[in-house]
Amino acid sequence: MTQHVVIAGGGIGGLACALSLARAGVSVDLLEQAGTLGEVGAGLQLGPNAVRVLDEWGLMDGLQACAAFPDALRVRDAHGGGQLGRLRLGAFARARYGQPYATIHRADLHGLLLDAVQRQSGVRLHLGARLAAYELFSTSVRATCEDDSVFQGAALIGADGLWSRVRTQMLGAQPVRASGHLAYRGMVHTDHLPTHLHHNTVTAWLGPRLHVVRYPVKRGEWFNVVAVVHGALGQGHGGPPGSDPQSWSHAARAQDLQRALGPVCADLKSMLDAVTEWKLWALNDRAPVASASEHAHGRVALLGDAAHPLRPYLAQGAAMALEDAWTLGRLLQTSPPDAATDWPALLARYAQTRWQRNARVQSRSQRNGTIFHASGLLRLGRNVAMTLLGESLLDNPWLYSGPPEPV
Ligand SMILES: Cc1cc2nc3c(=O)[nH]c(=O)nc-3n(C[C@H](O)[C@H](O)[C@H](O)COP(=O)(O)OP(=O)(O)OC[C@H]3O[C@@H](n4cnc5c(N)ncnc54)[C@H](O)[C@@H]3O)c2cc1C
């Protein structure tokens, strides 16, 4: 390995990036601020585009051992309970996209990537290493952590999430955007649900100013439940006003959620009542990426939420981080890294390949939130469109057939 890169952030994006670079023959220092590695207890949906990336990295057996593979996505009315739309997944997704649609616990995906990184030579993981700043030189970048440790590489990848320091230094301070939405997350063991709710589906219940999604994880032994409502931390939700907006794990009360949701249909109520512990986090994002130069600049590039934080309404945040990482690896495979590797040019190609797709997913995610939470005429129009257009409204061929080859 003649080339060396520094990655800030050991979340799903940072681990995926380390794996992708090491597979392409680049050694990595991976800096994670936390003293121990882990992920919060919640689920993730992985469209066929994300599964394709994991499959190419040889992680399909590992995925099958811990994920679930739902048969369908069902959209229902949160109040009446009636079905508004349905998209076949399962065999249909495999036939259409060559890959299944998976749902997984975040810790399981994080563990799968960590295990692969640890089996791959060339990655040194540094825990408790919080990047403070970087300095650019003519042929390298030097990253300095808060404990004064220093790491040097031919490039720096900022995979340090929504509140990214790499991003702040690269693009200047830009405040994150509060969505005004709160996500309540919980897990329920399948045995604790009435049997008619055991079905192997992603189910989304939509209502004015709210939606609730549930899907199986851990081979179907558990369900992940997320309820999104309008509101602000500390104002009738979670802890006191001024709660840390960066935390993903505020304690939450079922009665606050019930009050925010109002009356809901019987199935949804049974589902929510079966959750014994709720966690809460505020959903924040940024305006969609507006140009390639927001994604990479010289020897520094952003990846995952650091580049393009997403509202979760297209279920693609982790998927886009995986795609970003895959793209970097793909670029290195086509021109194997050596002392002559032109990192600024390579990162510029990465940015050109990724920025418009990531911006489109950001915009679509935001739009979905408006449609999911619609009331009045917009709600009526949505329901009519779902009935008339059926599956074509819920399917996303442009997205699920990805990731696109580098430009
Ligand atoms: C409610 C909700 C539901 C979601 N559902 C889905 C879904 O169904 N499907 C999907 O694909 N995505 C989903 N997402 C999005 C997905 O979780 C994120 O997009 C994804 O986890 C981003 O990963 P990341 O590694 O880029 O960032 P993060 O997960 O934020 O990781 C950043 C890492 O960097 C570390 N770090 C931060 N600063 C520093 C520093 N200065 N130095 C060193 N380390 C640092 C952090 O400790 C962290 O480990 C959802 C998100 C939310 C909020």
One-character DSSP codes across 79-96: TT--EEEEEE-HHHHHHH
Has residue 244 got a pLDDT over 90? no
Closest approach atom of ligand 1 to CA 228 = 1
Residue 251 pLDDT level (bands cut at 50, 70, 90): confident
Q: What is the pLDDT of residues 313-360, one digit of tens each?
A: 999 999 999 999 999 999 999 888 888 899 999 999 999 999 999 999
Global pTM reads 0.97
Q: Where are the chain's structural domains?
A: 3-175+287-400
Provide the total of helices (H) and of strands (E) in the chain, helices listed first.
13, 19
pLDDT reported for residue 45: 98
Closest approach atom of ligand 1 to CA 309 = 19
Q: Which helix (H) or strand (E) holds 31?
A: strand 26-32
The Å distance, Cα 183 to ligand 1 centre, comes to 15
Percent of the chain at pLDDT exceeding 90: 90
Mutate to test the pocket of ligand 1, among 44, 89, 150, 396 (most ligand atoms within 8 A of CB): 44
pLDDT reported for residue 334: 87
The Å distance, Cα 325 to ligand 1 centre, comes to 14
Mutate to test the pocket of ligand 1, among 125, 160, 214, 328 (most ligand atoms within 8 A of CB): 160
Residue 240 pLDDT level (bands cut at 50, 70, 90): low
Distance CA 77, CA 240 (A): 32
For the chain, give the mean pLDDT: 95
Out of 215, 313, 350, 400, which one is annotated catalytic?
Answer: 215
Pocket of ligand 1, beta carbon within 6 A? 8-14, 31-34, 44-45, 130-131, 159-162, 165, 183, 226, 283, 304-306, 310, 312, 315-319, 321
The Å distance, Cα 129 to ligand 1 centre, comes to 17
Q: What is the pLDDT of residues 188-238, one digit of tens each?
A: 999 999 999 999 999 999 999 999 999 999 999 999 999 999 998 888 888
Alpha helix stretches (DSSP H) within 224-265: 254-261
The Å distance, Cα 159 to ligand 1 centre, comes to 9
Q: Whose CA is nearest to atom 48 of ligand 1?
A: 11
Closest approach atom of ligand 1 to CA 165 = 41
The Å distance, Cα 375 to ligand 1 centre, comes to 30
Closest approach atom of ligand 1 to CA 145 = 42
Mutate to test the pocket of ligand 1, among 12, 110, 157 (most ligand atoms within 8 A of CB): 12
Closest approach atom of ligand 1 to CA 316 = 11
The Å distance, Cα 356 to ligand 1 centre, comes to 20
Kindly tell me the burial class for residue 96, based on how many C-beta atoms sit within 10 Å of its own C-beta (0-12, 13-18, 19 or more): middle
Q: Which CATH class is domain 3-175+287-400?
A: alpha beta
For the chain, what percentages of helix, strand and coil (3-state, to nearest 5) are there? 40, 25, 35
Closest approach atom of ligand 1 to CA 16 = 25
Mutate to test the pocket of ligand 1, among 7, 31, 32, 228 (most ligand atoms within 8 A of CB): 32
215: annotated active-site residue: yes
Which region among 240-254, 293-307, 321-335 has the lowest average model confidence (pLDDT)? 240-254
Q: Whose CA is nearest to atom 24 of ligand 1?
A: 13
Half-sphere exposure of 10 (CA within 13 A, CB side): 27
- Dihedral sign for Cα 226, 230, 236, 239, please: positive
Q: What is the pLDDT of residues 23-64, one digit of tens each?
A: 999 999 999 999 998 777 789 999 999 999 999 999 999 999
The Å distance, Cα 276 to ligand 1 centre, comes to 25
The Å distance, Cα 79 to ligand 1 centre, comes to 32
Q: Whose CA is nearest to atom 21 of ligand 1?
A: 318
Q: What is the pLDDT of residues 70-89, one digit of tens each?
A: 999 999 999 999 999 999 99
DSSP 258-294: HHHH-S--HHHHHHHHT---EEEEEEEE-PPP-SGGG
Distance CA 65, CA 62 (A): 5
Strands 3-8 and 26-32 come out as: parallel
Q: Which residues are within 8 A (CB) of 397 and not within 5 positions of it... i.e. 6 or more apart? A: 96
Indicate the DSSP class of residue 335.
S
Q: Whose CA is nearest to atom 30 of ligand 1?
A: 161
Q: Whose CA is nearest to atom 38 of ligand 1?
A: 160
